[in-house]
Structure 1
């Protein structure tokens, strides 16, 4: 499915959808000439460009502004690891280093425009360099969390037909264990000290490379990134985004949810495998010329996070609700934040009591953000908006968000239905292009004139949306989206398990966790259940990513089923949440 229709139709979209907006006291984006171009597009006076590349049209423009002395002396990228190591890059340095990496990918690895590259790195600077380099070379990058298992990596390599993988020495053995089954995998790059047979050392290659590289010309609808979703009834799907949906979108959405300036610093604590990091720690802040701050954070430690906020001039903090639930458990009176003014929470609903505790101890509000892998930011409570506890704010620019029924009829304010975004007659720019190689799923994601999110909610008279729950069985725990099918598939491999159903279960810290209902094989009926529970949990950790294991296990004689034999997961889930 094409992301964009004819430019003339797109011009109509911007004319109809984008309001006239002014931003008092904010420096213009990029430069006066560039700003004027995007302002004309926002007002419908100019068509969206046919060609666009985030690296050359945004990052390199900021580099030029820097060299002209028209940007504050703020780094573009600031990384620490908590052990004394620190990296600071200006936009000019980011451009220099990313061109070297682009040459590594094209000259040393032989990658070409349109080739796919799987990037599995923790929060280290190389993750940002590789992403920018891929844009310069027209290579499609596929981020993945460092917690992926060998089985997860195999599936992603085979499904994507990736020609290259870049990861750390820690994950290299897992890749090697499945690489023989991936005939299209040409190159393996390792971001670690030392060497390994069959791998090239990333650092050595790029240090010796020339920085002479010309950014490739890309169309605005050309594929740029692919994210794997967590499926509820099958394997993860490939959600493909274009140069336009991720890179150009924030230029048109302007300051909606972040509202940063070139002198400000933002810290997003999300994992590098999720789209939130690409949005909040890459595209959107750099559109504003802001500084992206990153702490390596091998583990989420509330004291480390609080001390970092006290030691560094961080203006904006983005995190999952779990982060704020952890932070409010500390004695916040001991901490004095250096610069923090703006806090945002996304990935799952935030408890109103946590918002109240954070506000009472820090004086800061938490602004909720709602989005999906397919859409990016859909709703948010932006600066200046009234905060309604339990509400995730209003629709983002470019999106016509509605509550609809099963027949795609728009429901009135206050009535519960499915959260949907208008996709016809014109597909908004921020939309994903398609579920790659899955036209059936792409078609099923639409109902009438709308893309359906699978989430239920309501909208009030003022246009504020409230999240009710998910129509599907997806589990969101500590910001991680977990598909029950993957956990069930892992459990069923264990000889003790005859049948299993996985649902969400409430948890005071994580919001919800994975719970498995298990029907045991008769040969295991006399086994010590505590020991067996640990065994099943360890089995899932080894078979899938560690964060997917069931933190709760309940052994049952049978599972509730429909007359056709389908397991009633909704019944188990409702019982777990006290709804029945």
Structure 2
């Protein structure tokens, strides 16, 4: 059984995308709370229904039913309340992929506290900024000595933080989560009165990784999980009683996209592989061994997986593969399809939203390289800087109309920053900041962040378009294309490249000639990079997106010298 049908005006398969757009609508009940209305409902209606399959690198395995999650999250909520955590308080979770995250998330929803998932890659200054910006009251961390040391250093300058909590072995100055919460009663009735939660209460806060400046605080309300029915059911294609894996650390917004809300609402169990680092062969073994039914990973992961001997792994039970985070180039799509017979369904969205565009079910054909078609919940339009629609095929900013109402799943605003919020919603639309084109059939094609477009010799060049060509060369594992100031052209096209393992020992000048020749043979001359730099790794945000701005800033400093 699945509960998604309770939030859909029609519970049926749609004939095609046109039918999907016209008739797929979501409803939000009064005062929805994910912990009570999803987790506890499953525990009541299907006590043995599998919720979570967790495994780590040491083959330690734990399986949780919804009854388990319901019971333990109530126990955790009771413990949190005993520590003074109340509605509206902010609690930071730094738990990587530890199973406790799936207990603490609904526990905090029960109370009405605001959850701040955070990555374990943060350092002292990162923690200080976040704790002070969001008035964090408690930090709960897994037992990584380096991470916990950074948190301890940050606490000195974080007056709002009252408790540091460890989910691992005892640590001096820290509260033991397991040592205390397990002693509490698993009883936490739905709050009433002043502690009652409402649909428009803040529930979740993410610090966006950003491409420049300090991270913004994206605030989502209690209806946000409902919006992810579109993500899980129609893009991921999850199935009732299936097993879904989205590769993401819990500090990323992708974790609530693919590791919690929509998937549980749609009745599928979550597979969590708590790995120290990605090993492509081990990941493929996990998909085969556990019989995953749906799988989602960023394009970078597919670039590693597709280079394996995929014939060694039984992927037959996995009904659907999907991707998001960066645009997927057609070469990876084609190689994956050639080797597995399965397509990769691309999707696009932001920390500020649920899925905005995607390849939904099989309601339309996949056009490799396109992000797909707009989510029916979002009134999407491509606009010029004056807020006017651009002709099909021309570059503009992807925007979402909000004049009538804010759609389910779109951010409430940027916490404590009215100026930034007003700018994001200027002109009655939400501005994504992403430049795209939309073809005659409505498919959306990613061009780049507004500040990533390269203007060279009068041409507007999409970094992604050039990157897609370069990545067809077997030597190119990853690349980022940026513009460098040039007195003749205005900007020159530069390619920063991470070479594949088989090519890392080759002479850089030789590789530059080979890749440049390949580019000239496969794209227009004005797009061909004039400058090449070979790196061991590309600068990325904590959510794994390439930071082209970091490359540009580094190049600008060189120019200044």
Alpha-carbon contact 2:436-2:448 (below 8 Å) kept: yes
1:343-492, aligned counterparts within 5 Å?
Answer: 343-384=321-362, 385-472=364-451
Alpha-carbon contact 1:311-1:337 (below 8 Å) kept: no
Alpha-carbon contact 2:232-2:258 (below 8 Å) kept: no
Question: What does residue 132 of structure 1 align with?
Answer: 106
1:34-113, aligned counterparts within 5 Å?
Answer: 34=6, 48-67=28-47, 75-107=50-82, 109-113=83-87
Question: What does residue 328 of structure 1 align with?
Answer: 306
- Flag the 1:93–1:473 CA change in 2: closer, same or farther, 3 A: same
1:85 CA displacement: 1.0
- Flag the 1:506–1:440 CA change in 2: closer, same or farther, 3 A: farther
Query: 2 CA distance for matches of 1:545 and 1:39?
Result: 34
Q: Structure 1: which 5+ runs fail to align?
A: 1-26, 68-72, 485-502, 511-532, 562-566, 568-580
- Flag the 1:43–1:322 CA change in 2: closer, same or farther, 3 A: closer
Query: 1 CA distance for matches of 2:202 and 2:432?
Result: 22
1:209-248, aligned counterparts within 5 Å?
Answer: 209-216=184-191, 217-244=196-223, 246-248=224-226
1:43 CA displacement: 7.3
Q: Deviations over 1:455-507 (max 9, x none)?
A: 11111122110001111359999xx9x9x9xxxxxxxxxxxxxxxxxx99454
Q: Deviations over 1:234-265 (max 9, x none)?
A: 21110000111x22223578832133222211
Relative to the length of structure 1, the TM-score reads 0.75
Work out whether 1:203 is the aligned partner of 2:203. no
Question: What does residue 294 of structure 2 align with?
Answer: 316
Query: 2 CA distance for matches of 1:354 and 1:546?
Result: 18
Q: Deviations over 1:287-336 (max 9, x none)?
A: 11111101111101101101111211101110000000000111112222
Alpha-carbon contact 2:2-2:265 (below 8 Å) kept: no
Query: 2 CA distance for matches of 1:59 and 1:425?
Result: 32
Question: What does residue 124 of structure 2 align with?
Answer: 150
Query: 2 CA distance for matches of 1:44 and 1:312?
Result: 32
- Flag the 1:196–1:28 CA change in 2: closer, same or farther, 3 A: closer
- Flag the 1:168–1:46 CA change in 2: closer, same or farther, 3 A: closer
Question: What does residue 245 of structure 2 align with?
Answer: 267
1:176 to 152, 155, 166: 152
Query: 2 CA distance for matches of 1:153 and 1:398?
Result: 35
Q: What SS does structure 2 have at the residue aligned with 1:453? A: strand
Alpha-carbon contact 2:226-2:262 (below 8 Å) kept: no
1:162 to 110, 133, 136: 136
1:425 CA displacement: 2.8
Alpha-carbon contact 2:4-2:229 (below 8 Å) kept: no
Question: What does residue 301 of structure 1 align with?
Answer: 279
Query: 2 CA distance for matches of 1:46 and 1:457?
Result: 27
Q: Deviations over 1:139-166 (max 9, x none)?
A: 1100111111111111111111010000
1:35 CA displacement: 5.9
Alpha-carbon contact 2:50-2:64 (below 8 Å) kept: yes
2:235 to 248, 257, 262: 257
1:509 CA displacement: 7.0
Question: What does residue 522 of structure 1 align with?
Answer: none
Query: 2 CA distance for matches of 1:118 and 1:54?
Result: 19
1:406 CA displacement: 0.6
1:7-22, aligned counterparts within 5 Å?
Answer: none
- Flag the 1:61–1:331 CA change in 2: closer, same or farther, 3 A: same
Q: Deviations over 1:63-103 (max 9, x none)?
A: 22204xxxxx6511111113221111111111011111111
Q: Structure 2: which 5+ runs fail to align?
A: 13-21, 454-462, 468-477, 483-493, 502-532
The number of residue pairs the alignment matches comes to: 476
1:338 CA displacement: 5.0
Relative to the length of structure 2, the TM-score reads 0.77
Q: What SS does structure 2 have at the residue aligned with 1:448? A: helix
Question: What does residue 120 of structure 1 align with?
Answer: 94
- Flag the 1:104–1:505 CA change in 2: closer, same or farther, 3 A: farther
What is the RMSD computed on CA atoms of the aligned residues? 3.6
Question: What does residue 570 of structure 1 align with?
Answer: none
